[in-house]
Amino acid sequence: MAALSHRRSQRKRRTLAVSAALVAAGVGAGVFVMSANADAVDLYHQTLAAKDGWAAAGTGTTGGTKADAAHTFTVSTRAGLVKALGSASDTTARIIKIKGTIDANTDDSGKKLSCADYAAGTGYSLSAYLKAYDPSTYGRSKLPSGTQEKARAAAQAKQAKNIVFKVPANTTIVGVPGTGAGITGGNLQVKNADNVIIRNLAFSATEDCFPQWDPTDGDKGNWNSQYDEVTLRGATHVWADHNTFTDAPHLDTSDPTYYGRQYQIHDGALDITNGSDLVTVEHNRFTDHDKTMLIGSSDKDSTGKLRVSLHHNVWKGIVQRAPLARIGQIHVYNNLYDTTTVDGYAPLYSIDSRARAQVVAQDNYWKVPSGGKVAKLLSGDGTGSVEGSGNLVNGTATDLVAVYDAVNAKKIKPTVNWTPTLTAGLETSAANLPAELATTTGAGVLK
C-alpha cells in the first residue's frame, strides 16, 4: 500500500508540474487535463491550479484529495450517493466518483417516484390549489395561506428530502469519464461548507413539482420554484469545472399557464448566495435555461464576500443571469455568450450588475444574431459596475458599458474598486473562443 501511495504522489507532482507550465504559457487548467498523458493524470485527486480564479485564494481548493480508501466511493444510484455523502457536518475528506446518470426521483430501492408520490398523504392537489388562490376571488395583495398552501409546502418538503443532496466540506465529486455521468432531477447543495470540487457532471431536469403562487411578485404575479441544479449557500473554496447544466428534457415551452402566468418548475442552474465566497466556475456549458446564475441572494447579502471567477464557460440558449451579480467582486473572462434563441429560450440580457457589484468583464466573446441589440447584453439597477476590456461582439471590439449607458437612464459604472490577480489561463484575445470552447467545455470532455 505504501508503494501505491508513493506512485500516486509522484503522479500528482508530475500533474502539478505540467499544469504550472501550461498556466505559464497561458493555457487553462481544464485544457491540460484533456491533452496530458492519461497515465500522468489522476482526475479524482486533481486540485485547483494556483491562481485559477478566486477559489485559488488563501488555502486554495483541494476537495477530497486526502481521502483514504474508506472514504473513496464509486456510486451509480441515488441511495449510493446519499450514503457516500454521509452527514453534512462530517468534514472527513472524501472522493465520490459518479458512474452513469443518477436519477434523484427514485426511492432507496431504485423505484421511480413521481410528483403524485410526493403529494400522497399531504392533501395537496393542483386543482384545489388553483381554486383556492384564484386572483379573481383570493385577490393579489397577499401570499397564499391556509389548508392548500400548507399541503403544498408539505408535498414540497417531501420532494426536497428526496432530491436535495447535501455536500460536506472537503469533498470531491467527479463524473467517471465515458459513463455519461450526471444527476437528473436533483439539487446538489453546498451549504456552509468549505473546500468542494464538482467536475465532469451533467445536471439536468431539476424540477419542482409544487411551485408556489405569489400574486405580489411583479405586476401580474409569478409561480416560483425551489431547487437549483447546484446551490452554493455560505460555501467557500468551491471549484465547479467541466459540468453541463440544462432543463432538458422538460423545457420551459412545455410548461402550462395558470392565472395568466407560466407555471415555472425550474429555478437556477448554479446559484451562489448567502455569503458564499472564493468560487471558480470554469469550462462549463449552460444551455436551455432561464434564470441561470445568481450571485448574491439579495441586495443585503454579505459585503466582503461573493468573490467569484467565471471563465471559459459557454452560455447558449439561456434567458438571463449569466450572471446576475450583487455586491461581490466578480471576474468574468474568456467566456462565450451565444445569444441566439434556442428551444424557445429567448435572451433578455447576459450580465446584470446591481447592488454595488464590482464586475470585471475581460476578453469575452458575444455571438449576436442579426437584429440583436448590443445594448441588451448588459443590465443594471444604476449602482453596479462593469469594467470591460477586450470584449468582442461578432468579432468586433465593443465597449459594452458605453453602448448600454447610451440608451439607459440607470447607468452602469465603467470602473471598479479592485484589480484581478488570480487569472490563470487568461487569454488576452477572445477571437478564438468560439472554436476553442466548442470542444473543451461541459461534461464528458475530461478523460
Model pTM score: 0.91
What pLDDT was estimated at residue 391? 98
What pLDDT was estimated at residue 295? 98
> What's the average pLDDT block by block, 10 residues per block, for the chain (447 residues)?
33 38 38 39 92 98 98 98 98 98 97 98 98 97 97 98 98 98 98 98 98 96 97 98 97 97 98 98 98 97 96 98 98 98 97 98 98 97 98 98 98 98 98 98 96
What pLDDT was estimated at residue 31? 39
C-alpha cell at 359: 464586475
Nearest to 384 by CA among 330, 327, 331: 327
- Please tell me the distance from the alpha carbon of residue 83 to that of residue 85, in angstroms, as a whole number: 6
Decide: residue 403, CB within 10 A, 0-12 exposed, 13-18 middle, 19+ buried: middle
Nearest to 57 by CA among 305, 293, 227: 305
What pLDDT was estimated at residue 37? 36
What pLDDT was estimated at residue 40? 46
C-alpha cell at 194: 468549505
Tell me which residues are annotated as active site. 321
What pLDDT was estimated at residue 41? 55
